[in-house]
């Protein structure tokens, strides 16, 4: 429902902000969906993130079909519509629906790949999360706006506004996530031996895949000399 509202606003509602034409659905709500997927991936694992991606896709399709049913009911003679809502409010443009669905699937997969790639070269947590979100959101803006508004006279304005707005929104969501993750880890039960991670490790948040790769590299080398051990060979 949250993503459905984001898609609806992204295709229908725009607000002038400092000379830019921004949609609250595209700039504020959609980055929150990617933010949630990345949070689940970092805090849980790839399986949970995959379940969330499938859930988002299924929910978007279901919500669109329900909206179509509601619009048909509102056109009927037996419907009581005290607010005089237009039936078109509940029906997405088929073009925007297809573009939005493809963009959603691509973005939710890319946000995980981007985070893993950025983490190889960037150490600070804030920069890792922000760069990952910003890269995927710029890609999403190019895909969604081009697919939905390429022939529109305001295409260029919508595209530039979407990029600027989403990059700013990514910084806001990143700040929230960067503040939450270290504190969530600090609140977890004690590690083996009753030793909590040091203050430096609190800000080195690793995904399950990163932990696995680090442990695999550690297990293949001698702890004293650093050379590959018998198990590696």
According to the model, what pLDDT value does residue 197 have? 42
Q: What is the model's pLDDT at position 194?
A: 44
Contact 30, 10 (CB under 8 A): yes
Q: How many residues does the chain have?
A: 233
Residue 41: the pLDDT is: 86
Q: Quote the pLDDT of residue 173.
A: 92
Instruction: In whole angstroms, give the CA distance from residue 48 to residue 138.
Output: 25
Give me the average pLDDT of each 10-residue run along the chain (233 residues): 79 83 87 88 83 87 87 87 84 76 86 89 88 92 85 87 91 90 65 42 57 78 84 82
pLDDT of residue 232: 81
pLDDT of residue 198: 42
The pLDDT, as a whole number, for residue 206 is 62
State the pLDDT at residue 186: 63
φ, ψ dihedrals at 20, nearest 5°: -105, 150
Pair 26, 44: CB distance under 8 Å: no
pTM confidence score: 0.72
Distances (CA, A) of 93 to 8, 12, 131, 141, 184: 9, 10, 32, 18, 41
Return d(Cα 6, Cα 32) in angstroms, integer.
10
The SS3 call for residue 22 is strand
As a whole number of angstroms, the distance between CA 38 and CA 53 comes to 11
């Amino acid at each position: 429902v949250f993503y459905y509202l984001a898609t609806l606003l992204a295709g229908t509602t725009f607000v002038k902000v400092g000379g830019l034409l921004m949609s609250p659905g595209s700039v504020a709500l959609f980055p929150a969906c990617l933010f949630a997927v990345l949070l689940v991936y970092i805090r849980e694992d790839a399986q949970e993130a995959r379940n969330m991606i499938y859930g988002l896709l299924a929910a978007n399709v279901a919500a669109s079909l329900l909206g179509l049913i509601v619009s048909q009911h509102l056109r009927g003679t037996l419907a009581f519509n005290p607010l005089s809502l237009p039936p078109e409010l509940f029906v997405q443009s088929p073009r925007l629906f297809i573009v939005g669905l493809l963009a959603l699937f691509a973005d939710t997969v890319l946000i995980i790949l981007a985070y893993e790639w950025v983490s190889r070269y960037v150490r600070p947590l804030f920069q890792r999360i922000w760069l990952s979100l910003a890269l995927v959101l710029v890609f999403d803006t190019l895909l969604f706006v081009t697919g939905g508004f390429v022939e529109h006279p305001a295409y260029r304005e919508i595209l530039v506004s979407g990029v600027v707005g989403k990059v700013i929104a990514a910084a806001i969501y990143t700040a929230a996530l960067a503040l939450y993750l270290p504190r969530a880890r600090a609140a977890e039960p004690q590690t083996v031996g009753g030793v909590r991670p040091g203050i430096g490790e609190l800000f080195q948040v690793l995904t399950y895949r990163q932990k696995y790769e680090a442990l695999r590299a550690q297990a293949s080398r001698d702890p004293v000399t650093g050379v590959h051990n018998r198990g590696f060979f």
